Amino acid sequence: MKLKVKVMDVEQGQQEIVLNQELSHEMCLETGERVIVKYNGNEITCIIDESRRISKNTIILYHESAQKLNVKTGQMVDIRPAIKPAGIDYIKKKIRNESLNRMEITEIIANVLEEKLSNAELSAFITSIEINGMSPEETLYLTEEIYNSGEHMEWNSEKTVSIHSVGGVSGDRITMLATPILATLGYTVPKTATRAISSASGTIDAMEVLCNVTLNKKQIMEVIKKTKGCVAWGGAVNLAIADDKLIKIRNPLQLDPQPLVLSSIMAKKKAEGAKHVLIDVPFGRGAKILDLKNAEIISKSFRELGKGLGINTIVTLTDGSKPVLNEIGPSFEAKAVLEILEGKRKDKLYEKAVEMTAILYSNVEKISLEKAKQIIVQTITSGKALKKFQDIIIAQGGKIITSASIKHAKIKRIIKSTEHGIVSHLDNKNIARIARALGAPGDKQAGLIIKVATNQRITPGTELYEIYANSQENINEALRLMNDYRIIELQRLVYSIE
């Protein structure tokens, strides 16, 4: 069937085309089925969408498809029905709770990469994994396929390391500290990270306050060559293309099936070329992992998967029920990191960063944890870690900056208590909600500073926290949200009388 092309100059994640509805019915095709579109020797498989509003001799192609075919509006393409990609049968196997073998997982990921699967089909795959799970073998195959789907970095050093947190805890900026500390100690630390998804700031959002983070593979290799350390945005490096496509479906649905969390993280660690990996699993109320039992289960899976991938994998289970920093928001967090390296503060973030890096260091060097801690602390007190961090910032296109010069958003409000009580809980999820209402992470200067700690006694008038935004509208929105989403909870004998 010959059809005249009309190109819509926007991208469509899936390779979709639009056909006249009547025509597609005549061809016994339906929305969601596939056709092969051919032009001048090129051919691609596309998913059909139907419209009554285009003529029967026309086909609408979106930007990417038109580009792949090298075709322009007005030219003629040939279409014919395509058979279903085999991956769909294997997705249905997973729906029936049958195990997938390596070939089947390879085929699904190949179909994902060729954009032969629709969002609905990918969603069915993710949902079936959420419900039916995956065996350790399936998870390993999946991780290897995701690893194979993207770029790889290789380093001469056996001492290439990476620290990664499963996430969900505000102010958990460990890797911004661990990277210069470990690089100071001679390790290669090619850290890639993501921007915030639901939190107030990801590692990348905070790092971006100090320098450029959008580096390609070549640029990362140059930074590492100069400094041994790097903190780059994973989204610019294509370390695991298949994973990016799955995440596009997972994020809006907020579905985090454990096998996909595992494969996503570990495929990227392997692609970073890490030989030793420390995975931090914060657990507790308000964190992603709710209790110790679940933290232990996922910890075991990480270690098993690491073994399969040939990566020395250490897992730490840490308290994720409270924020790691009292200051939340990209600039606030970047400032805190600098203050620690400048020797100006020794708070929970300092302690956690020392502990994490020492655990990794003692494991690789086969020395005691105490000894390792002494060495780590020495990198900070000597100023070497700060110097290394400045080198990394400069290598990534930034300027030398001191903590004192980092600015916060211009409008500030102090939130005071109206009640008596004892602080029993600081809620990570609600902190993220309020911080996002204030403009973070898009507005790097927006955020909040918590002024109380758990178990602290408060009275009416006690300052609870300060909020910062660059627009009155955002301040108002945050104030409005505070009624429904409480950052601070008080211990009470009687919670309500109804």
Work out which of 104, 107, 115, 121 binds a copy of itself, going by CB under 8 A.
Answer: 121
Structure-block tokens of residue 295: 């933290």
Catalytic residue among 256, 319, 443, 484: 256
Token pair 């070549």: residue: 218
Q: Angle 348-365/174-184 helices, nearest 10 degrees? A: 40
Rounded distance, CA 405 to CA 402, Å?
6
For residue 146, which of 236, 220, 244, 237 has the smallest C-alpha distance?
244
**# binding residues, a copy of itself (CB under 8 A):** 53
Contact call for residue 8 and a copy of itself (CB under 8 A): yes
Which C-beta is closer to a copy of itself: that of 24 or that of 165?
A: 24
Contact call for residue 442 and a copy of itself (CB under 8 A): yes
Work out which of 52, 218, 293, 366 binds a copy of itself, going by CB under 8 A.
Answer: 52
How many Cβ atoms from other residues are within 10 Å of residue 151's Cβ?
A: 13
Structure-block tokens of residue 262: 């595992």
Q: Kindly state the smallest distance separating residue 202's Cβ from a copy of itself, in Å.
A: 11
Rounded distance, CA 410 to CA 142, Å?
47
**Beta strand 2-8 with 58-62: parallel, antiparallel or unpaired?**
parallel
Strand partners, 277: 162, 313
Contact call for residue 32 and a copy of itself (CB under 8 A): yes
Contact 188, 153 (CB under 8 A): no
Contact call for residue 436 and a copy of itself (CB under 8 A): yes
Q: Kindly state the smallest distance separating residue 257's Cβ from a copy of itself, in Å.
A: 10
Contact call for residue 293 and a copy of itself (CB under 8 A): no
Which C-beta is closer to a copy of itself: that of 69 or that of 349?
A: 69
Work out which of 1, 36, 241, 255 binds a copy of itself, going by CB under 8 A.
Answer: 255
Decide if 256 is catalytic.
Answer: yes
- Tell me, residue by residue from 55 to 94, as one string, x for binding to a copy of itself by CB under 8 A and - for no binding: -----x--x------------------------x---x--
Exposed/middle/buried for residue 401 (C-beta within 10 Å: 0-12, 13-18, 19+): middle
Contact call for residue 241 and a copy of itself (CB under 8 A): no
Work out which of 36, 86, 101, 132 binds a copy of itself, going by CB under 8 A.
Answer: 132
Q: DSSP letter at 342?
A: T
Contact 90, 104 (CB under 8 A): yes
Which C-beta is closer to a copy of itself: that of 204 or that of 376?
A: 204
Rounded distance, CA 295 to CA 280, Å?
10
Rounded distance, CA 267 to CA 361, Å?
22
Binding site for a copy of itself (CB under 8 A): 8-13, 18, 25-28, 30-33, 49-54, 60, 63, 88, 92, 95, 97, 118-124, 126-128, 130-132, 195-197, 248-249, 251-255, 436, 441-442
Q: Which residues are catalytic?
A: 256
